[in-house]
Chain A
């Protein structure tokens, strides 16, 4: 039984945006997300993402915490200030409790520690999209 069968059929392609400076993440994560049935866009930095104008149609944001330039947290704040209510799933290699608290306080849906299982990711995405 695949994970897909546990979930409802996605009524429309939701756009998930991946922002991570790590190339291997940009390489592997979108494929997995596509397997989940999402439409995926990937950006190497917060600046790129913002510049792309994709924010408007982003249904969910998978965001690295530690990035050069604008960090994941900064982007979270930025989007808030710009009025976007995009649900954010943070991913990070850092096991720092304070970061976890901060991001959740600031309204993140979840924060996943690398390496994370596909199931964990799927769960976080469900939460983010409001699926039960």
Chain B
């Protein structure tokens, strides 16, 4: 209940205060600009609390949109602690619901206060905004002026709230709008962004495409340039076999311009008539089956030029993969030149190979060892024969030099010869030496060694042709041995022959002596003694004794080397003696010796003994020639006869005769067909005869055999 003022001064004071308060309250809205509802209310509550020194002032605001509400409380200094708005709200609840005019109301024991007066004020026309409750312990509360202030304050707050509400609604709307706008803007921005991105992307794609196109164009241009500049002919053809491309090289090669052949059938243009059918058939087959014998490989063919020539070409055809019907590209090359070169090369190769083979064959199959060494003598190559000869393989030889395998004693000479060869003092040399084989044995070889001049590819090397002369050397050694043996033997034989001859010849008179002497004794012992007979036999004995002596002398002279002086002698006698000497030897070989000695043969002047040597030689030769034959009698005929101005002695045999080949060599010194190598006879015989101013020769018989003859002038003629 409102108290009445006490005095007019008080009343004025109260009124002034009221007006001030009102002014303040009226000024409040200025502080609320843009504020939130809670701020407005809080602000108002603060102001009212202070102005009226209230104990508390509580506000409940309805939320704009929800069914909930906001509670605010401001408390005065009488409160110990700041209470929670909702606590206050709960406590005030009973009085808020009641919208009676009974307000203000005095309440006891609320909030720990003994008594407190509560004055509610509605906010808004129908408390739709909210309610404010002012409370004070003063008993005079609320005075009229206070009520007025509170009222106006509440109104202001309400208006402020409304406005604020409006504002906030506005704001809300605005903010919603804003939000929407913002959202929209954001959306727009986003989609813008996206758009922008898309554009950027598209641009970049376009850029890329542009680049690619440029690149493609460049490549195209490059390809075109390749095609154009290609030395190989490039001809493209579609699925109908018509020419779609014909590069400059093709133009040049075949002699057509590009324009003139584009669209024409390939077969008509460059396939030779003889191959057209095959081409058509193959093409058709490929189109039908996909098979081809020519695609994807290089093949050689002939092609037709504008001028009618057919040229050999190398051609590779590829199929161009693309959608739609196939097309084909052919790469051709005129290989006329190449083929010519190839043929020439092949021929050269063949020649070379043949030559190489030939020489290799020579090397491999040579009947003589061939070995090649470097200038230090180390083996580079050796043919199979050489390898076999030495017992080393080619590899093993490669580790050795020729001096390594030459025996010690031959190395010096070998070295010297090689040195001369290398110094150019001689172009080649021969050497007979011994190699030591792998197995330690030795082999005699005759080597011919030369330097082979180098070429740019191959340096100089030494070549040795190596002949195994072991056998020959052994044979030679054996021969030498045999020769010396034979010479010895011959001497011995001659001696024994001599002895035998002497023995034989002496035997005769000796025999006579013994027989005659025996007879002589018997005759003397007879009764009466046969003195006449004894005398005769004694005479014979002496004669025979002399004969024997003569024979020995003669024989000795015959075999001595002393040059006897020329004397006059009888050829027949001389011949007889020789014949007598030879008979036994000849008959030992069943050779019959006949003699036909001319009567009244004139004497000759000469060396009896030497002439007898000649006769002996001829007889011996004849005997040797005859000894070999079996199918006819072995006969020798010694004949003497007069020759114009001289005498002639011939020894005719029925032997093997004289070969025309041998004839030439017969009188050569040391020539012999006899294996004992004592062919001195004829040559020396001839010399002897010639010394006698005579001549010695031989003729072939009409029948078998030969005749050796010599003639010397008779003594009257010299």
Contacts and interface: CB of A to CB of B under 8 A. Distances in A.
A102 to B, nearest CB: 13
B592 A32 contact: no
B371 interface: no
Nearest to A22: B508
Nearest to A2: B525
Contacts, number: 76
A113 B141 CA distance: 215
A115 B522 contact: no
B594 to A, nearest CB: 7
Interface in A1-42: 2-3, 22, 24-25, 27-29, 31-32, 35-36
A72 B509 CA distance: 21
A24 B509 contact: yes
B617 to A, nearest CB: 22
A109 B511 CA distance: 20
Interface string B506-524: 0111111111101100110
A28 B510 CA distance: 11
Contacts of B592: 68-69
Contact of A31 (B509, B526, B537): B537
B511 to A, nearest CB: 4
Given A68-B593, A93-B504, A27 B512 contact: yes
B584 interface: yes
A32 to B, nearest CB: 4
A18 B435 CA distance: 71
B503 interface: yes
A118 interface: yes
B584 A94 contact: yes
Contacts of A22: 508
A28 B504 contact: no
B512 A24 contact: yes
B17 interface: no
Given A28-B537, A68-B593, A115 B519 contact: no
A71 B514 CA distance: 24
Nearest to A1: B525
B523 A28 contact: no
A115 B510 CA distance: 6
Nearest to A114: B511
B514 A117 contact: yes
Interface in B551-570: none
Interface string B570-606: 0000000000000110010000111000000000000
15 contacts: A22-B508, A24-B508, A24-B540, A24-B544, A29-B515, A31-B533, A32-B515, A35-B523, A66-B584, A71-B587, A93-B508, A93-B511, A94-B504, A117-B518, A118-B514
Interface of B: 503-504, 507-516, 518-519, 522-523, 525-526, 533, 536-537, 540, 544, 583-584, 587, 592-594
Given A68-B594, A69-B592, A118-B518, 10 more contacts: A3-B522, A27-B540, A28-B516, A31-B537, A35-B522, A68-B583, A93-B503, A114-B508, A115-B515, A117-B514
